[in-house]
Amino acid sequence: MRKIFWIVFITLLFLSSTFVYFKVFKKNYRIFEVKEAPLVKAVYATGYIKAYNEVEVKSRVAGYVVKVYKDVGEIVKKGEVLAELENKPLERKIEEVKTELENLREKLSPQSYFITSFKEKIAAKKERIEELKYRLQRRKKLYEKGLISREEIFNLEKQYNAQLKELSALELEFKENVKEIKRKIKVLKATLNRLKEELEQYKIKSPISGVILKRNVEVGDYVNTFMETKPLFVIGDLRKLKTILEIDEEYSYLVRLGQKVYITIDSVPDRVYEGRIIKIYRKVNEKKKSFEVEVEADYDVELFSGTTVEANIIISEKLGVAIPKEAIFEENKVRVIEKGKIVERVIKLGETYGDMVEVLEGLKSGEKVLIEK
């Protein structure tokens, strides 16, 4: 239902005025004593209180809800997990990558078959080379004595050099295999981190520290990122509150930053809170034909987010003289008691304040004005 807004005029003049009955010329009159008092013009508005930092928590991924950790009213910290969605294919993929990674790491352990077999082959090759080196040295001595031919030395050197080449190739193969395994481990670690980050998106976390204000999710619900309109959770920091007022668009020209606001709350009777406008949202709601302002006010009681309020935005405030409308006749005349007699007097009128009218000239504080009963 469309909210109705109007200007409310406040004056302490009403509270301090005195009415008595006075009978003159067979007519009953009320006497209104004129007093100078604050004349206040204000715009009435309604609104609500909300957490200064209030956020809606939605999911960036789709899936079935398997766990809900937090409920309405519970305090949460930034980054704390609120709920979890299911993604079994992703979980299986992570386990597969972990297994493959573990196998490769095991392959590089000193006791692994891969390492020990290569070390044994290299050790055997070195042993064969040492044997050939020893034989070659002895053959050279025999050759120097003319006991063997040069061809026999040449064949042995050929075998020795071939073994050296095979050792170099074997060592290079070992290094390349280790290098490839390390490369695969690096790739798998990056893949595992990426998959874990992806899986983390299936954990709904709180973006701020605060209190759970709403929870719109249950275990078994399917969360669809494309179709979901309601947030899964609403979280707010209730340590600091802000007040949002809705004002009829026709009063937009009157509202300014810094204006004083008096706020009343049904749940806190007999209290009036003072605040000031700190932000004006310059966008009119086409359906409600209203716009919003943000008010900063200090509340000395614990309030719920969404608490409704009523407020008067002070547009102008000044000291002046005002009298009831009903005291005026013929547009700008009043009856005044002077020296015990009733005298008609012409006055100059100013602004209207509800049932009261400002008097600019013609009356002063302490004079008594008659109002026909």
- What pLDDT score was predicted for residue 27? 64
- The residue among 281, 256, 242, 241 whose CA lies nearest residue 43 is 256
State pTM to two decimals. Answer: 0.60
| pLDDT tens-place string over residues 173-195 | 999 999 999 999 999 999 999 99
The C-alpha angle 115, 119, 123, rounded to 5 degrees, equals 175
Alpha carbons within 13 angstroms on the beta-carbon side of residue 149 total 3
Do the beta carbons of residue 231 and residue 216 sit within 8 Å?
yes
**What is the distance between the terminal CA atoms of the chain, rounded to a whole angstrom?**
40
Q: What are the tens digits of pLDDT across the range 295-317?
A: 999 998 888 888 999 999 999 88
In the predicted structure, residue 18 carries a pLDDT above the cut 90: no
- CA separation for the pair 111, 113 (Å, rounded): 7
Q: What angle do CA 267, 265, 8 make, to 5 degrees?
A: 150
Measured between alpha carbons, how far is 31 from 294 in angstroms, rounded to an integer?
44
pLDDT tens digit string along 83-122? 999 999 999 999 999 999 999 999 999 999 999 999 999 9
Reference 104, options 193, 183, 191; nearest CA is 183
